[in-house]
Structure 1
Amino acid sequence: MPTLKGWRMPWHPTSRPRSKLSVSTRSEMDLALCSLKRLPLALEVIGSAMAVHRSEGPHVWEERYKRLHLSNDPDVEKQMFKRLKFSYDELGNYEGEKLQECFLYVAAFPEDRWIGFTELRNCWMEVGSELSPTAIVNELERRCLVKISKSWRDEEAPGYITVHDMLRKLCIRILKGKYSPQQEHEKGCLFGYEWTSGIQDATFAKVSLISKNVGSFLSDNHVRDVLLLDECEGLSNVDDSLIDHIQGVKVLSLWRCYEIRFIPESISKLKNLQLLDIRETGVSQLPDALFSLTSLKYLKSTQWMPIKCNIALLPQLSNLEELELNVDSKEDPSVVDFTGISRKLRLLELRMIDGTMKVPESMGKLEHIETLDLHAKCIDFVSIVGLWELVSLTTCKICVQSVSRAPWKRMFKKSIRLKVFSITGVEDSENNDDTFEWLQLRYLKIRDIINLSWLPHRLETLEIDCSGIHLFNLDGSFPRLEKLYLTHLHIAQSEFKDDLAASLPNLKQLDFWLAPDIEWEHLPLFVAQLPNRPESLKLTGCIKRLLLPTERSSLQVKDVFVSSKKMQNDFFEPSDQMTDIETPGRISQAGRATLPERHENSTLA
């Protein structure tokens, strides 16, 4: 690789022009980067590590070059790992060993696995870094040690993390050299490789047996800080013996350990426990002793089956920051009151299939909460009288099976950081036309709405239950709106304003769900007038044809999917108005997908 091109790659796009660097500094750069010997991964990783020194003098580059030069080894693989370890060592200059320790946790997960950001964040809890988890993973990505895939819910938040196989192997090598599995001390670490079956009475600080067979390891050894048993084989129970061997753990993850049926009362011995994850296990009841663990910050137990627990004891967990709970209230389908829950909560996800969930006024004082998710058969909002103070709220989802009433517009008026808001089954008890300052709102799902004038103009996804709407119109332009879902439409196709297309310049997906008693002659006229070609058009309900024959505008949509029982034979006529459709399809009355006949000089298939 030419020298000039080689030194430019690591700095883009954050580098400053080469001409502004001194001649001596440029020469040291070229010398250091030439020592990488055309190893693309090393070039990217080491270049990113050195980016923090781009404003420093040549002595820094010279010292780093010497370190790289001294790492020469006739073994190509060893040479690669030594060069990659250079970047790991540089992490120590950022936040001491804590950032290095966070990076080593990628070895706790199986090779080629997409690592959930929350999974890594849970592990980092015991490290005690002053940086936020998001800041940590962003710094690791900036140094090209990991790659972040953004969350589909929030494009600004990390979703999944991937790591190059060589970098994962580097972490395993570092851990093996730093903490030998044979050492019987409290600094042992068991990540990414099999243990020696003969090890007994050893104490490991961190153990990951994700997707592995546990065997007798847990009964023969002790774990001090972190125990990850996600999707673990051979673990049929959590008993008193296991608890005795892990009394010091801070993180215990049993996610998808399907055979585990119960948690013993002896869990009260885990006084240092900060995270317990029993999602998608067979656990059907939380023991009362669990609520004595006042150090607990994260309790995750949502699953496909509800779980029994004594809700009255929940206020004892005063340090909870995240709570995910699917409450089983079948035996006592009365009101379940969540008064007294931790004021430190940042995430609250509560689900109830039966009974009534009582939302106390105190829930509106959770000033740290960022995510609120409430699903229940019935929710009682009667005690709410004032404005809620959920000023940090970014995601809110409320779903009620039987219609409830609440002053929800007033409740969330101060939640100006909202990005995702979904509320179904809840009618506005005050029925006012208040406007909102939800300037960051990107996703909105709502029902029982008549006035659309208050909708934020930065929306990217909008889903509306149109049961109460008699005329559909949007005020102003929605330049970011890409997905529009309209359900329970009780209006005729003529009740859409003709100039609606101008409000939707970048629409990509449009869905119509007609009410059972509504029949359309054709699509609303604005659909054929959209300025940019949408990718998908879906229509469910009774519609006779796509376009009005007298209307000469062309339907410019890539894919069309229709589920209707009253299609006419000329449904896709006139064909010359649909030449831009690539994948039309329809569902016949029998439910079988069919395609219209091909027309000459048409892409209609």
Structure 2
Amino acid sequence: MSVPYKLPVLDEESSLKLFFKKALPNSNTNETIPDDLYDIGKKIAKKCGGLPIALRVLGGLLSTKPVVSWRTEMEKMDWGSEGQECSAIIGTSYDDLPFALKSCFMYFAAFPEDYYIDAIPLLQMWVAEGFIPQQENKTLEDTAEMFLEDLVQRSMIQVSKRDHCCGFIQYCRIHDLLHDLAIRKAREENFLVVFPKVDGARRLAIHDTEPSGELMASAVSNLRSLWCHGRAPNISLFTRLKVLNISEYDYYEPNKFGRLSLLRYVEGHLGVHEEDKDYFGKFIGGMRFLQTLHLEDEIDCHDLPDFVWNIKTLRHVLLPIWSLGPPPSIDLTNLQTLRGVRPRESWVAQGSPKLPNVKHLEMGVTAQDEVQWDAIVTLLNTMKHLVVLDLFGPDIPLKIIDMRHFLFRCCLTDLALEDTNRGDEDEEQRAQPRNQIVLDVGMLPKYLIRLSLKNIKFSEDPFPVMEMLENLRYLHLDGSKLLVRLRCSARGFGKLEELDLFSLTGLEEWEIEEGAMPMLKKLFVTDCPCLRVPLGLQYLTVLQNLNWVRNETSRTEEHEICSICKHIPNLNIWVM
């Protein structure tokens, strides 16, 4: 048996540096710390024993207090007995949380240890549970995001991944010691328990096991929320459920659904057999207070019945395949997310659905149908608050790409367009493809941060227009086979951080002027077989990662890339 390795603790200097980084997050690292604060920091470092988790949590706690009160706050703390200071610090940080934040923190007990938690569904569950108060001029989801950031600032929660363009939290996790605290507090408050304890549970988490019906029967009367990170029980038992989250795929018979009319949040792998589709639709449609419907990719479920769209409380609908969107003229004022749907032809004749507050729209046209594109245009003309737009389908027309007349042009920050009509044209169409696009100034919303364009038939270089987007940080250009030349001018793409050039099979020349793309950190070039190595790569002085994937590379060409790009720390040349 090997001897366990004992992790070293931080010395005094490192402890002070970590503490002040958390306690004074907005200060300049070169600023001199006042003597009185420095003395407090030294006492903290000693009390925390050099443990990083204790220093971060205590620093996060004091970051929420005026610095003039730090000494008083320190004197009020019960440090516990020798060797238990860390637990005492963590407990104090929990006690300092506002009431609503305590509920949000205890919610982390529902997830397994070391679990990477998707932040967006987490916030939606907080809303469904009623933890989030309504604040003026803010959506509940916006306030929930502020709550999560507050827990991060206090070091109660760790950020696993942030969106590198917009900065919002994508995934988070919780330290083992804090996870234990969340489980303990949740049990003490009768807030949530982890299986196999079920008696009297209001919220129940099942991790990697399949509970027996006999055990679960004792939880029927009180259960309001159920998370299954393994096989789920018969959910028809729990008629008072508000939150249902099932992560493991399984097929469900009709008698396993029941009439769960109080559900507000449904997420998971809820497979149904073909003959049970109507029953499943009634199961969803019977949820009078449903806010979030998130059906995972494995589900084999087609169009939702129209009466599902009559649920006025719907806020987020995420479907795994291209189901029919809402029926014509229906009013869904609360809806913010609509993903995985296709338009109805009837929208053009009878009026598109009223979706005034949708911020995230993902929609697809499944066949070459001009009427469906017209229906999408009709819908987009009614939307004012759209932030994320993801559209795909064959032969995307200019009236979609030219967005200067849409009301959301000052809100949209994330745009993805994919033309699915590729490789099916006959010889004549390949010589003169339909829907050739010449990008013009003003077509793209000027506040875009992320732009992804796949198989768009640009007949001229689009970079002179794209590089004028002052906030653009991520650009993905894929499959535009007509492009022969690209040019990045000096001072163009001023904030771009990542550029992907994929499958530009006709691209021969890429000119990069000195001063272009001054913030570019990542560059991916894949399947551009005719592209000559641009000499201007030497001007990209902050570039950290270059991945160049080619079908074949000569030694001379590889040497040329290495010579031009010798200043790039992570340079990878791949031959497919």
Normalising by the smaller structure, the TM-score range is 0.7 to 0.9
Matched, 1:289 2:299: no
The one-letter code matched in structure 1 to 2:188 is G
Alpha-carbon deviations, 1:259-317, whole Å to 9, x = none?
67642324333121110111222223312221111211111112xxx354365358443
d(CA) in 2 for partners of 1:479, 1:324: 35
State which of 37, 60, 63 in structure 1 corresponds to 2:72: 60
Matches within 5 A, 1:19-418: 20=34, 22=36, 36=48, 40-53=52-65, 55-57=67-69, 60-62=72-74, 64-65=76-77, 68-69=78-79, 81=87, 83-92=89-98, 97-126=99-128, 127-129=131-133, 130=135, 132-151=143-162, 154=165, 156-179=167-190, 188-191=202-205, 196-209=215-228, 211-216=229-234, 218-231=235-248, 236-237=252-253, 239=254, 242-244=257-259, 246-254=260-268, 256-258=269-271, 262=277, 263-280=280-297, 281-302=299-320, 306-309=321-324, 311-313=326-328, 315-327=330-342, 339-340=352-353, 342-356=355-369, 357-358=372-373, 359-363=376-380, 366-382=383-399, 386-388=404-406, 389-402=408-421, 405=435, 409-410=439-440, 413=443, 415-418=445-448
How far 1:397 sits from its partner (Å)?
A: 1.2
| CA deviation profile, 1:97-131 (whole Å, cap 9, x unmatched) | 22222222222222221111223222222322445
Q: CA deviation at 1:198?
A: 4.7
Q: Distance in 1 between matches of 2:574 and 2:162?
A: 28
Relative distance call for 1:18 and 1:33 in structure 2 (3 A) is: farther
Distance 1:145 1:526 in 2: 49
Q: Is the 8 A contact 2:19 2:59 kept in 1?
A: yes
1:479 aligns to what?
A: 518
| Structure 2 length-normalised TM | 0.74
Confirm or deny: 8 A CA contact 1:506 1:532 kept in the other structure.
no
Residue 346 to residue 404, structure 1, CA distance change in 2 (3 Å):
farther
Deviations 1:4-62 (A, max 9, x none): 8756642226547786254xx77776667655566553343233212323513366325
CA contact (8 A) 1:184 1:202 kept: no
Q: 1:438 aligns with which of 469, 472, 497?
A: 469
User: What residue number does 2:6 align with?
Assistant: none
Q: Which residue of 2 aligns with 1:11?
A: 20
Q: Which residue of 1 aligns with 2:426?
A: none
> Given the superposition, is the C-alpha separation of residues 37 and 476 from structure 1 closer, same or farther in structure 2, using an over 3 Å criterion?
closer
User: Which protein shows a greater Rg?
Assistant: 1
Query: Which one-letter code corresponds to 2:487 in the other structure?
Result: L
Q: Is the 8 A contact 1:404 1:426 kept in 2?
A: no
1:453-472 deviation per Cα after TM superposition (whole angstroms, max 9, x unaligned): 46524432141664665643
Bigger share in helix? 2
Question: How many residue pairs align between the two structures?
Answer: 510
Structure 2: gaps of 5 or more residues: 1-9, 136-141, 422-432
CA–CA separation in structure 1 for the residues paired with 2:72 and 2:273: 55
- RMSD (CA atoms): 4.3
3-state SS in 2 of match to 1:61: helix
For structure 1, list consecutive stretches of 5 or more residues without a partner in the other structure: 537-557, 564-605
The TM-score with structure 1 as length reference comes to 0.71
- Alignment CA distance shift 1:19-1:440 (3 Å): closer
Residues 232, 248 of structure 2: 8 Å contact kept: no
Compared CA separation, residues 272 and 411, structure 1 to 2 (3 A): farther
Higher RCO, 1 or 2 (CA under 8 Å, sep at least 6)? 2
Compared CA separation, residues 465 and 559, structure 1 to 2 (3 A): closer
How has the CA–CA distance of structure 1 residues 525 and 315 changed in structure 2, closer, same or farther, with 3 Å as cutoff? farther
Answer whether contact 1:172 1:192 (CA < 8 A) is retained. Answer: no
Shift in Å at residue 341 of structure 1?
A: 5.5
Q: State the match for 1:584 in structure 2.
A: none
What is the CA–CA distance in structure 2 between the aligned matches of 1:338 and 1:372, rounded to whole Å?
A: 21
Which of 522-531 and 152-161 deviates more?
522-531
Structure 1 residues 62 and 200, CA, compared in 2 at 3 Å: closer, same or farther? closer
What CA distance in whole angstroms lies between the structure 1 residues aligned with 2:458 and 2:154? 49
Structure 1: distance between partners of 2:187 and 2:126: 20
Output the amino acid matched with 1:511. W
TM-superposition CA deviations, 1:219-239 (whole Å, max 9, x none): 333334322222266x624x4
Q: Which whole-Å CA distance do the structure 2 matches of 1:385 and 1:438 have between them?
A: 14
* Cα deviation, residue 480, structure 1: 3.4
Residue 223 of structure 1 aligns to a residue whose secondary structure is coil
CA separation of 1:122/1:413 partners in 2, compared to 1, >3 Å: closer, same or farther? same
Superposed displacement of residue 415, structure 1? 2.1
Contact 1:391 1:414 survives alignment (8 Å): no
- Report the 3-state secondary structure (helix = DSSP H, G, I; strand = E; otherwise coil) of the residue aligned with 2:61: helix
Distance 1:429 1:365 in 2: 30
- In the TM superposition, what is the alpha-carbon distance from 1:320 to its structure 2 partner? 1.7
Return 436-445 or 465-474, whichever deviates more.
465-474
**CA offset digits 1:309-367 (Å, max 9, x no partner):** 365358443422111115599xx9x9999944613121111234434341315515633
- Asked if 2 retains the 8 angstrom alpha-carbon contact of 1:117 and 1:160, the reply is yes
CA distance change for structure 1 residues 472 and 198 in 2, over 3 Å: closer, same or farther?
closer
Q: For 1:49 and 1:198, how far apart are their aligned partners in 2?
A: 42
Q: Secondary structure at the match of 2:109?
A: helix
Matches within 5 A, 1:449-528: 449=483, 450=485, 452-453=487-488, 456-459=493-496, 460-463=498-501, 466=504, 471-477=509-515, 478-481=517-520, 482-485=522-525, 487-490=527-530, 493=532, 499-507=535-543, 508-511=545-548, 523=557, 527-528=561-562
Distance, in Å, in 1 between the alignment partners of 2:378 and 2:459 is 16
- What is the CA-CA distance between 1:395 and the residue it aligns to? 1.8
Partners of 2:111 and 2:20 in 1: how far apart? 30
- Once the 2 structures are TM-superposed, how far is the Cα of residue 134 of structure 1 from its aligned partner? 3.8
Q: Following the alignment from structure 1 to structure 2, what is the Cα–Cα distance between the partners of residues 411 and 249?
A: 47
* Displacement of 1:396: 1.2
Q: In structure 1, how many angstroms separate the alpha carbons of the residues matched to 2:350 and 2:365?
A: 12
Q: Do the aligned partners of 2:48 and 2:86 also contact (CA within 8 Å) in 1?
A: no
Give, in angstroms, the shift of residue 399 of structure 1. Answer: 0.7
Supply the distance in 1 between the matched residues of 2:349 and 2:452 (Cα, whole angstroms): 23
